[in-house]
Amino acid sequence: MGILEVKNVNKRFGGLKALSEVNLSIAENSVHAIIGPNGAGKSTLLNVLVGKLIPDTGSVLFDGQSVLGRTPYEINQMGISRVFQTPEIFGDLSVMENMMIACFAKRDGAFTMQAIGSMMKERDIVEKAEQMLDSMNLADKRGMHSASMSRGDKRRLEIAMCLAQEPRLLLLDEPTAGMARADTNNTIDLLKKIKQDRDITIAIIEHDMHVVFSLAERITVLAQGTPLVEDTPENIKGHPKVREAYLGETQVAA
Amino acid sequence: MLGLNRKDTAILLVVAALAIFAPIILNLFPARSELAFFNAGYPDLMQRFVIFGIFAIGFNILFGLTGYLSFGHAAFLGVGSYAAVWMFKLLNYNVVPAILLSIVVAGLFSVVIGWISLRRSGIYFSILTLAFAEMSYRLAYSVLTPLTNGETGLQVYTDDPQVLMQAGGHIVPHLFGLEMRAREVIDVGPWQFVFPVGYYLCAILMLVSFYISIRIFRSPFGLMLRAIKSNQTRMTYTGLNPKPYTLAAFVISGMYAGLAGGLLASMDPLAGAERMQWTASGEVVIMTILGGAGTLIGPILGAGTIKYLENVFSKMNEGLLHKWFAFLPDWVESPVIWVVSKFTGEGWHLMLGGLFMLVIIALPGGLVEGGQRIMRLFGRKPKAETRTSTEPAE
Amino acid sequence: MDAIILQILNGLDKGSAYALIALGLTLIFGTLGVVNFAHGALFMIGAFCAVTLSKLFNLSFETLDPTKKDFLGNPLKVKTPYVQEWFGPDVGAWLIDWSVPLAILFSIPIMVAIGFVMERGLIKHFYKRPHADQILVTFGLAIVLQEIIKSNFGANPVPTPAPEVFRGSFDFGVLLGFDPNVIIYPYWRMVYFAFAAVIIGGVFAFLQFTTFGMVVRAGMADRATVGLLGINIDKRFTIMFGLAAAVAGLAGVMYAPINSPNYHMGMDFLVLSFVVVVVGGMGSLPGAVAAGFLLGILESFASMNEVKSVIPGIDQIIIYLVAIVILLARPRGLMGRKGVMED
């Protein structure tokens, strides 16, 4: 029984079948990659997992509890954090404030009315935020307006905010899209370190085979809205069905 | 001091000093001199400064922090005024129950309107609030006449119950016997300073409101409100529910508006539906933005500037202009006066509209941003607050 | 039955005005993505074009008529409008009488020019700014425009009559077999409705059947893609702004005889027209027109005594009430498209 169990999920948009009979199990503390060509239904699946879309049929269980029908913030509070393709951060606020928001969300839940006390006097929050920034090498940028940071820094801030919530499942949507090779490698190292330091399950939706094969312990190949194969990276590389459906199109860099 | 950091304390003290000495600051020129024209200190006007300051401070908590642009906040001001006058009619002229009720009623009213309007965002939210305010305005003039006294406006009549009124009790609004219109007049040489009781009550409440708004700005709640303005997607995916935060901000700003309405009625026990018209809602938007939306001091600056300019510019008449421009040759004087007169007296709103456009176009951050730019120009670090201060409190 | 027909007719002229303003608002909104709070002011300026032309035609000089005496025994002063002097008494009188319809010709170039100047001089700079800024700057502009009109024409409504032949009323009831004087409807309101129908039809035909219109509709659907095709969409959008301004102006010109123009008529209509746009669905032209007529007719039904006695005050708030219900039940409005203004 994995931490995330997707069973018989179907979703259609008008005449288009985006997901059909998707079954997926992500084991706790694993790094699980979901790959597939464009239009395979990766983004639809992700949006179902975080509550943005509700599937037509099927069930999604996180740690034995259904996530269907819950709003994105409720699902997040259950322990699923999402990193976006283009970093979503609070651009108008400082890096430290970004971090503190995530810490407050972890400590106080979806809504708490604390309108009078100063936020800077919340010692535990300030300390935790500073610690997180330190560990992500963002400490020297704490007062910076976060919109003015480089893309790589924004990505690290976003990941840091997700980690501050101590999620049990971290969902990454093409975390290295649009990055130069050096930045991509840094991100891979960062994710490896994150995995090493804590008990966390990571699910990655990715295009870049280099990233997938450097990180994943298990890979699910999605094609035309349905899982084709699920196996270890070694077996996936040689799998004829995968070659046919997917890898044939791209150069495998591994 | 009072749980604020040094910078915020300084801002609060400056505002307090301005409020306390307003009767002097606003009447810098000797009473009989030519320049007395620029004095703004007759008591009604000073009261309007601080009352509209309260209104704008509250509006800023909603618009400045969350970015939700309400075009219907005058409805809460109007409701507050009606509530206060009803207290005068039913109990007696003591302003305490009147002000309390005006805050409570405006709060309840804003829970209902906010709960519905906040189901939509952006332009839809603006139009919904506008629709609600216009609806209230029209109802106040028509069906609700028994409650609002229609076009005449709600006022206190001698046959009202006034159950707490004792024989020989005060027949004007008072604070436990201290009449609002009482004043101390001090003559210093040619200068004349008036210290009205009503003004000081308003000023104290404005300072309290301002202090609360600083605390809100620096609180975790204020941080969440700024998060709403910045990125609602990230907010929901960080496990936070923006709805109750926005509604809370809406209700708080509605209560501020109710307080302002209650004070207006306490200074002059009369309430009319025109206070709820959408032009009145537009006015508080203008004040907040002119001063600097999202900044602490901005709304007060904006409210003060607009009310002062309104007073001075609408007082200017053609006779006065002729006197001022008499030094010009006739052929220059006439066109100059013609142009200037379009912006003064009756034309004050033209001036207001133009000023507002200018601010939006060139200085979206308002007077506060203007001040910071000037500071930078002189090579000094801006002392005025920045919007994103993260320095720890002392 | 007769009462229902009468209310539908009564709703048509207001509905026509709402529809015309909402049409322009939607055009601007759909093409430029700008929420124009100054659109009501354009309607008002149109109405004052009619006022101005009527005043121009009435400009007179005084002569003394020695053959007649006034009550003091002095020669009678006679005012003769210049137009009568120049074109002869008959043509002059006709011009004065027909000043409102003639103002249509007079107003089109003015309104188009105002539209161009507004778009190029102001709105253009706000495409990339937040919607709140667009609302605010056009709100400021609306104040400025209405105050300029106020300072030139005064604060009181200026009566501007329709041509003599349209001043009577038409007895619709007789036509439909009811008793005389049950359903009577002023001629001018019929003219207004027909005029609005022609304009609306014209705008739709223009968008439907011309290449220009096709590009604009494509741009409304997906601006980025059209831009990628190498079509200069901005220039076309400027022209659309001029067109929308002209539509609002024409709506105002013809409305002048129905309601004497005053400086705040634009704001009054704007608030309602926004509600109309929202009910119709942001970005939907047919929605704007349908909602305009629908709300105009609903408003006139709500002002029937039978309705008012059941729900007092309903006539004052019906439009807002409908808008609130629609926005909550069908957030996109009656015919709104997905993804418009939903950030």
Point out the residue among A90, A104, A113 whose CB comes nearest to the CB of B234: A90
Of C245, C243, C251, which Cα lies nearest the Cα of C216?
A: C243
Interchain contact C90–B (C-beta under 8 A): no
How far, in Å, CA of B269 to CA of B170, rounded?
A: 13
For residue A79, the one-letter residue type is G
Counting as contact any 3 or more CB pairs under 8 A, the partners of C are B
Pairing of β A4-13 and β A218-223: unpaired
Mean pLDDT of all residues belonging to chain B: 86
- Which of C131, C147, C341 faces B350 most closely, judged by CB atoms? C147
Q: Place B390 in a pLDDT band, splitting at 50, 70 and 90.
A: very low
C-alpha to C-alpha distances, B146 to A43, A171, B83, B98, B142, nearest whole angstrom: 59, 60, 13, 19, 9
Arithmetic mean of pLDDT, A197-222: 89
Low-confidence spans in chain C with pLDDT less than 70: 223-224, 227-228, 230, 337-343
Chain A residue whose CA is closest to B221: A115
Top residue of A120, A149, A159, A169 to mutate, by most chain B CBs within 10 Å, is A120
Question: How many domains does chain C divide into?
Answer: 1
Identify the pLDDT of residue C343: 43
Looking at chain C, the whole-number percentage of residues with pLDDT higher than 70 is 95
Hey, is the C-beta of C144 within 8 angstroms of any chain B C-beta? yes
Candidate from A108-117, A235-244, B116-125, C258-267 with smallest mean pLDDT: A235-244
Closest chain B C-alpha to C216 CA, distance in angstroms: 23
Sign of the alpha-carbon dihedral angle for A56, A62, A63, A65:
negative
Report chain B's terminal Cα–Cα distance, integer Å.
9
- The pLDDT tens digits of the residues spanning C179-190 come to 777 777 888 888
pLDDT tens digit sequence for A13-64? 888 888 989 999 999 999 999 988 877 888 889 999 888 888 999 999 999 9
Range list of β-strands (E), chain C: 60-69, 75-81, 169-171, 184-186
The C-alpha angle B208, B214, B219, rounded to 5 degrees, equals: 125
In whole angstroms, how large is the CA radius of gyration of chain A? 19
CA distances from A6 to A17, A58, A217, B386 (A): 17, 8, 18, 48
- Subunit contact A81:B219, Cβ cutoff 8 A: no
CA–CA separation, B242 vs B245, rounded Å? 5
Higher pLDDT, C232 or B72: B72
Chain A interface mutation, best of B213, B216, B238, B385, highest count of A Cβ atoms under 10 Å: B238
User: What's the mean pLDDT in B13-31?
Assistant: 84
Share of chain A above pLDDT 70, in %: 96
Q: Say if CB A104 and CB B224 are below 8 A apart.
A: yes
Q: Which pLDDT belongs to residue A164?
A: 93
**C-alpha triplet B71, B72, B73: angle, nearest 5°:** 105
Q: Is B235 on the interface with A (CB under 8 A)?
A: yes
pLDDT at B223: 96
Pairing of strands A31-35, A201-205: parallel
Average pLDDT on B162-188 reads 82
Q: Which CB contacts under 8 angstroms, 24+ apart, belong to B302-309?
A: B302/B56, B302/B366, B302/B367, B303/B49, B303/B52, B303/B53, B303/B55, B303/B56, B304/B49, B304/B53, B305/B367, B306/B52, B306/B352, B307/B45, B307/B48, B307/B49, B307/B52, B308/B26, B308/B40, B308/B49, B309/B348, B309/B351, B309/B352, B309/B355
At residue B388, does pLDDT exceed 80? no
C169-171 vs C184-186, strand pairing mode: antiparallel
Residue A238 has pLDDT above 80, yes or no: no
Angle at B210 between CA B204 and CA B215, to 5 degrees: 130
Confirm or reject contact between B41 and chain A (CB < 8 A).
no
- Higher pLDDT residue, B287 or C214? B287
What share of chain B in percent tops pLDDT 90?
Answer: 41
Task: Indicate the pTM of the whole model.
Answer: 0.89
List, in order, residues 6 or more apart from C335 with CB less than 8 Å away: C280, C281, C284, C286, C287, C290
**The Cα angle at residue A166 between residues A165 and A168, in degrees rounded to 5:** 120
Chain A contact for B7 (CB, 8 A cutoff): no
Query: So what's the pLDDT on residue A34?
Result: 92
Instruction: Tell the burial category of B21 from Cβ atoms under 10 Å away from its Cβ (0-12, 13-18, 19+).
Output: exposed
As a whole number of angstroms, the distance between CA B328 and CA B134 comes to 48
DSSP annotation of B276 reads: G
pLDDT at residue A247 greater than cutoff 70: no
Put simply, whether B220 touches A (Cβ < 8 Å) is yes
Instruction: Provide the pLDDT for residue B392.
Output: 39
DSSP A41-82: SHHHHHHHHTTSS--SEEEEEETTEE-TT--HHHHHHHTEEE
The answer to whether residue C82 sits within a structural domain is no
Within a domain: C109 = yes
Q: Is B241 on the interface with A (CB under 8 A)?
A: yes
Tokens of B59: 């509006």
| Residue C334: burial class (beta carbons within 10 Å; 0-12, 13-18, 19+) | middle
- Rounded CA-CA distance A254/A35 in Å is 15
Residues of B in contact with A101 (CB under 8 A): 223-224, 227, 235, 238, 240
The pLDDT of residue A121 is above 80: yes
Residue C166, SS3 per DSSP? helix
- Report chain A residues whose CB lies below 8 A from the CB of B239: 73, 76-77, 105-106, 109-110, 165
Instruction: Tell me if chain A has a CB within 8 Å of the CB of B388.
Output: yes
CB-CB neighbors (< 8 A) of C122 in chain B:
361
C274, C280, C286, C288 alpha-carbon torsion, rounded to 10°: -20
Does residue C67 form part of some domain?
A: no
Domains of chain B: 6-277 (1.10.3470)
Q: Which residues 92-151 of A have a C-beta within 8 angstroms of B?
A: 92-94, 96-97, 100-102, 104-106, 108-122, 125-126, 142-143, 145
Parent domain of C128: 2-57+104-329
Shortest distance, CA B227 to any CA of chain A (angstroms): 6
- Using a CB–CB cutoff of 8 Å, tell me whether C316 touches chain B: yes
Nearest to C135 among B69, B128, B132 (CB): B69
Residue C66 lies in a domain: no
**8 Å CB contact between C289 and C22:** yes
For chain C, positions 210-239, list CB contacts with chain B under 8 A: none
Mean of the per-residue pLDDT values of chain A: 88
> For the CA atoms of B175, B181, B183, B185, what is the dihedral angle to 10 degrees?
170
Residue B54 has pLDDT above 60, yes or no: yes
Nearest CB among C125, C143, C327 relative to B120 is that of C327
Which amino acid appears at position C169 of this protein?
A: S
Chain B residues in contact with C316 (beta carbon < 8 A): 135, 138-139, 141-143
pLDDT above 70 covers what percent of chain B?
Answer: 95
Q: What is the CATH number of the domain that holds C117?
A: 1.10.3470
Task: Please return the burial class of B331, using the count of CB atoms within 10 Å of its CB with bins 0-12, 13-18 and 19+.
Answer: exposed
Please report the pLDDT score of residue B270 as a whole number: 87
Instruction: Answer yes or no: are the C-beta atoms of C269 and C21 closer than 8 Å.
Output: yes
The stretches of B142-241 forming alpha helices (DSSP H) are 145-148, 197-218, 220-230, 232-236
Alpha-carbon distances, residue B132 vs A201, A202, B78, C36, C295 (angstroms): 49, 48, 13, 20, 17
Q: What pLDDT score does B106 carry?
A: 97
Q: Which residues of B touch A81 (CB under 8 A)?
A: 237
Which of B12, B14, B46 is closest to B27 using CA atoms? B46
Phi, psi of B389 (to 5 degrees): -95, 125
Using CB atoms, pick whichever of B220, B239, B393 lies closest to residue A76.
B239
C270 occurs within a structural domain = yes
How far is residue B149's CA from residue B86's CA, in Å, rounded to a whole number? Answer: 11
How far apart are alpha carbons C112 and C42 in whole angstroms? 10
* Beta strand residue intervals within B11-150, DSSP E: none
Question: pLDDT digits over A57-103, tens only?
Answer: 999 999 999 998 899 999 999 999 999 988 999 999 999 999 999 99
Q: What is the pLDDT of residue A253?
A: 43
Is B3 at the interface with chain A, CB within 8 A? yes
- Homologous superfamily, domain A1-79+167-254: P-loop containing nucleotide triphosphate hydrolases (3.40.50.300)
Chain B residues in contact with A77 by the CB 8 A cut-off are 239
Higher pLDDT, B171 or B31: B171
Residue C10 lies in a domain: yes
Strand partners, A82: A171
Q: How far is A251 from chain B (nearest CA, A)?
A: 34
C-beta contacts of A177-183 below 8 A and 24+ residues apart: A177/A85, A177/A86, A177/A207, A177/A208, A178/A151, A179/A151, A179/A152, A179/A155, A183/A151, A183/A152
pLDDT value, residue B42: 67
- What pLDDT, on a 0 to 100 scale, did the predictor assign at position B393? 37
pLDDT at B2: 74
Which pLDDT score is estimated for B224? 96
Q: Do B342 and C328 touch (CB under 8 A)?
A: no
What ranges do the domains of chain A cover?
A: 1-79+167-254, 91-166
Q: Which of B127, B143, B346 sits opposite C313 (nearest CB)?
A: B143
